[in-house]
A and B are shown apart, each in its own frame.
Chain A
């Protein structure tokens, strides 16, 4: 490792200051505000909130529904990952499952709700097909479907990744040792995956617990924490101090979950070597898992199908003639195109700046001997813990009186901080695998440290940097919980515009805007994947 160079500090100190100003300070402010009352600092806000039956009910509801979501999601995600890694399903079908399941990630969660309404509601497509209402979608059922669709991709990615690094030779060994199906399954699949399955459960729980988009659309009268928080802050009688209390209370289960996640990490097996091995023939297994996976996928697609159909019909579900009128109207509305441009701008800025900050932080931590460099890990753990809504709220409290209020800058900064963890870990992972002697070599060949980073480390991280960019971009395009407290009439983004359009029941516009986000994200994702593949060929 090279010595500490002034250039390292020149990067390190501004990054620390950035997180001090946009992570620690707002959260500190939030904490203080939660104790602040007309008679000074005391616990009365907490007492008010805790004695509010409706609020407490919403907490209970949130925990209940998030827990149930987490169970369902974990089981389904396991089925899907198992089908991909432990069956001899037709290969193209495996890729369809692998790719298809990730599609919800390209859409804002608020869209899920409207898709559910248009599928299962009184006039919904699926209701029409079945000829009757399957169940009441507003409230519990709708939320559950929405949360499961929302959390399934993340849980699947987690489990799928663990399966990839699991040594499947043990399945054969277990068979050869005479284990029965159940014992073999428990010992070679469930036990090695237990940490990951627990992780998938916790992750799904946190995601559902903190999401705002789904309850905002199909929540109905079933109140959850996220919608309560929104109402307290931006309802008819805003109460910032009580809002701060709810945000702090929202943090508690999340903090607990993050500790649980770190503990579960220890349960994971670490195979130093893993080999691909032929799986045994088993028609029954393949058919069973293949059909379950397909069913999950079809179920998910059928919910979204309406989004691709309704905007092309004159007046769904009454007049089903084809028309492009809604599209033409939307694109001619300067209001909506401006909102789309806002979203693009915010996503691009977040992706560029966020990738820069996350990459620099990882370089400092992994490839320099700086003192205190592990503070980056603390920051990444904290950003992983704080839900978008809590972060956004703390910005609102801190910047409300300042000239930062209503600027794109705080929205971009909020996204950068909110989504910091994953890109940072991606960079850390890739940088730590690189030859530790590169910087020394660069310096011996006459480059300064910073030039070596630019000429050697960066080109060799190209693939990771592209992945980081794509992650930041897509998440900034779809997030609503992070920015809902920060947007103003001038800085409206597509996701928050959808929330607004809901009040005017403009579902065609909602779906068209969602399609815009979807296709923008799809294009960015495909482009990034393409460039990443090109990088790998080197």
Chain B
């Protein structure tokens, strides 16, 4: 269980996040949804430990992590652009961290991760030879072998083309299920957030607009922001799809 208590963050005197309170259960997928500049990426970086906080507490399984440095928190992130090391091939990227955690992952476990992400045919490839989706899976594998306690994903779908997006969504869901891994995802796309996660945290201008399940957000939008900016987009999309396929699919 990850608890954020009263988190506030200012950059140069400007408030970016204001009194954020949040509880995420183990194994849940939570999306941080909001427009650009809303503070969602800052919140992700605060959980990771990359960005410090001005007020509040971060508590993970009853331990206060607020002052624990990034590398000792045991969380890990997959960056939007993957940050793979181009001088190493796919396999070398995946095992990069293992020499620092000798014995934490057995050969069989490593193979399991590779099989699960269907990376076996690509292991010897250079990073530049991988497609966007393959790069992302390598980056996820590299992170998973470190056995993070929480997996953070920064805009995981934004760099991918349409077809692959759906399969990556399924993959992220199955990772969380398979490894009982708490997963926190940053996205600006309501459709992505609502179709991929157990809970969605909608952030606007540094404040929580609503925190709830997809059903709660659709059926009981908490305020105008959720209605106007989140639901409206989905409704327009729904319209467009209906128009394409005809009303019979409604």
Please indicate the chain A residues that have their CB under 8 angstroms from the CB of B50 in the complex: 440
Q: Are A446 and B86 in touch, CB under 8 angstroms?
A: no
A441 CB to nearest chain B CB (Å): 5
Q: Are A446 and B85 in touch, CB under 8 angstroms?
A: no
Q: Are B100 and A445 in touch, CB under 8 angstroms?
A: yes
B247 CB to nearest chain A CB (Å): 45
Q: Are A441 and B83 in touch, CB under 8 angstroms?
A: yes
Q: Are A446 and B87 in touch, CB under 8 angstroms?
A: no
Please indicate the chain B residues that have their CB under 8 angstroms from the CB of A462 in the complex: 87
Within 8 Å by CB of B71, from A435, A444, A456, lies A444
Within 8 Å by CB of B81, from A3, A437, A440, A444, lies A437
Within 8 Å by CB of A445, from B79, B86, B97, B126, lies B97
Please indicate the chain B residues that have their CB under 8 angstroms from the CB of A299 in the complex: none
State in angstroms the CA–CA spacing of A457 and B93 once bound together.
14
B76 CB to nearest chain A CB (Å): 5
Q: Are B77 and A444 in touch, CB under 8 angstroms?
A: yes
Judge whether B14 is part of the interface by a CB distance below 8 angstroms.
no
Q: Are A443 and B71 in touch, CB under 8 angstroms?
A: yes
Within 8 Å by CB of A446, from B69, B83, B100, lies B100
State in angstroms the CA–CA spacing of A459 and B96 once bound together.
14
Please indicate the chain B residues that have their CB under 8 angstroms from the CB of A538 in the complex: 86-87, 126
State in angstroms the CA–CA spacing of A447 and B85 once bound together.
14
Q: Are A446 and B81 in touch, CB under 8 angstroms?
A: no
Given A459-B87, A460-B87, A538-B87 in contact, is the A446-B146 Cβ separation under 8 Å? yes
Q: Are B146 and A437 in touch, CB under 8 angstroms?
A: no
Please indicate the chain B residues that have their CB under 8 angstroms from the CB of A444 in the complex: 70-71, 76-77, 97, 143, 146
Given A444-B70, A445-B100, A446-B101 in contact, is the A438-B146 Cβ separation under 8 Å? no
Please indicate the chain A residues that have their CB under 8 angstroms from the CB of B143 in the complex: 444
Please indicate the chain B residues that have their CB under 8 angstroms from the CB of A443 in the complex: 70-71
A522 CB to nearest chain B CB (Å): 29
Q: Are A446 and B79 in touch, CB under 8 angstroms?
A: no
State in angstroms the CA–CA spacing of A460 and B87 once bound together.
6
Nearest-CB residue, chain B, relative to A456: B85
Within 8 Å by CB of B142, from A445, A447, A455, lies A445
Which of B70, B79, B85, B143: most chain A CB closer than 10 A?
A: B85
Q: Are B71 and A460 in touch, CB under 8 angstroms?
A: no
Please indicate the chain A residues that have their CB under 8 angstroms from the CB of B97 in the complex: 444-447
B54 CB to nearest chain A CB (Å): 16
Nearest-CB residue, chain A, relative to B73: A444
Provide the B70-104 mask, 1 if CB < 8 A to any CB of A, else 0: 11000011010101011100000000110011000
B1 CB to nearest chain A CB (Å): 22
Q: Are A441 and B79 in touch, CB under 8 angstroms?
A: yes
Please indicate the chain A residues that have their CB under 8 angstroms from the CB of B77 in the complex: 440, 444
Please indicate the chain B residues that have their CB under 8 angstroms from the CB of A3 in the complex: 69
Provide the B154-185 mask, 1 if CB < 8 A to any CB of A, else 0: 00000000000000000000000000000000
B213 CB to nearest chain A CB (Å): 30
Please indicate the chain B residues that have their CB under 8 angstroms from the CB of A441 in the complex: 79, 83, 85
Nearest-CB residue, chain B, relative to A440: B50
Main SS at interface, chain A: helix
Please indicate the chain A residues that have their CB under 8 angstroms from the CB of B142 in the complex: 445
Nearest-CB residue, chain B, relative to A446: B100
B50 CB to nearest chain A CB (Å): 6
B241 CB to nearest chain A CB (Å): 35
Within 8 Å by CB of A460, from B70, B81, B86, lies B86
State in angstroms the CA–CA spacing of A455 and B71 once bound together.
17
State in angstroms the CA–CA spacing of A64 and B85 once bound together.
53
Please indicate the chain A residues that have their CB under 8 angstroms from the CB of B71 in the complex: 443-444, 446
Which of B79, B143, B146: most chain A CB closer than 10 A?
A: B79
Within 8 Å by CB of B100, from A438, A440, A447, A460, lies A447
State in angstroms the CA–CA spacing of A437 and B76 once bound together.
13
Nearest-CB residue, chain B, relative to A443: B71
Nearest-CB residue, chain B, relative to A447: B100
A12 CB to nearest chain B CB (Å): 21
State in angstroms the CA–CA spacing of A447 and B126 once bound together.
22
State in angstroms the CA–CA spacing of A462 and B50 once bound together.
28
Q: Are B83 and A435 in touch, CB under 8 angstroms?
A: yes
Nearest-CB residue, chain B, relative to A441: B83
Q: Are A460 and B83 in touch, CB under 8 angstroms?
A: no
Nearest-CB residue, chain B, relative to A439: B83
Q: Are A438 and B85 in touch, CB under 8 angstroms?
A: yes
B116 CB to nearest chain A CB (Å): 19
Given A445-B142, A456-B85 in contact, is the A437-B79 Cβ separation under 8 Å? yes
State in angstroms the CA–CA spacing of A444 and B152 once bound together.
12
B222 CB to nearest chain A CB (Å): 34
Q: Are B85 and A460 in touch, CB under 8 angstroms?
A: yes
Nearest-CB residue, chain A, relative to B83: A437
State in angstroms the CA–CA spacing of A443 and B97 once bound together.
9
State in angstroms the CA–CA spacing of A538 and B70 once bound together.
31
Q: Are A435 and B81 in touch, CB under 8 angstroms?
A: yes
State in angstroms the CA–CA spacing of A462 and B88 once bound together.
13
Please indicate the chain A residues that have their CB under 8 angstroms from the CB of B79 in the complex: 437, 441
State in angstroms the CA–CA spacing of A446 and B76 once bound together.
11
A114 CB to nearest chain B CB (Å): 46
Q: Are A445 and B87 in touch, CB under 8 angstroms?
A: no
Please indicate the chain B residues that have their CB under 8 angstroms from the CB of A446 in the complex: 71, 97, 100-101, 146
Please indicate the chain A residues that have their CB under 8 angstroms from the CB of B87 in the complex: 456, 459-460, 462, 538
- The A409-461 residues at the B interface (CB cut-off 8 A) are 435, 437-438, 440-441, 443-447, 455-456, 459-460
Please indicate the chain A residues that have their CB under 8 angstroms from the CB of B81 in the complex: 435, 437
A435 CB to nearest chain B CB (Å): 5
Which of B69, B70, B81, B96: most chain A CB closer than 10 A?
A: B96
- The B83-134 residues at the A interface (CB cut-off 8 A) are 83, 85-87, 96-97, 100-101, 126
Q: Are B146 and A445 in touch, CB under 8 angstroms?
A: yes
Which of A437, A443, A455: most chain B CB closer than 10 A?
A: A437
Which of A435, A437, A438, A441: most chain B CB closer than 10 A?
A: A441
Provide the A524-538 mask, 1 if CB < 8 A to any CB of B, else 0: 000000000000001
Please indicate the chain B residues that have their CB under 8 angstroms from the CB of A447 in the complex: 97, 100
State in angstroms the CA–CA spacing of A22 and B40 once bound together.
48
State in angstroms the CA–CA spacing of A445 and B16 once bound together.
28
A456 CB to nearest chain B CB (Å): 5
Please indicate the chain A residues that have their CB under 8 angstroms from the CB of B100 in the complex: 445-447
State in angstroms the CA–CA spacing of A283 and B139 once bound together.
54
15 other A-B residue contacts (CB within 8 Å) besides A445-B97, A455-B96 = A435-B81, A438-B83, A440-B83, A443-B70, A444-B76, A444-B77, A444-B143, A444-B146, A445-B100, A446-B71, A446-B97, A447-B100, A460-B86, A462-B87, A538-B86
Subset of 25 A-B contacts with CB under 8 Å:
A3-B69, A437-B79, A438-B83, A440-B50, A440-B83, A441-B83, A441-B85, A443-B70, A444-B76, A444-B143, A445-B97, A445-B100, A445-B142, A445-B146, A446-B71, A446-B100, A446-B101, A446-B146, A456-B87, A459-B87, A460-B85, A460-B86, A538-B86, A538-B87, A538-B126
Minimum-distance CB pairs A-B, first 10: A446-B100, A445-B97, A437-B83, A459-B87, A441-B83, A437-B79, A446-B97, A435-B83, A443-B71, A456-B85
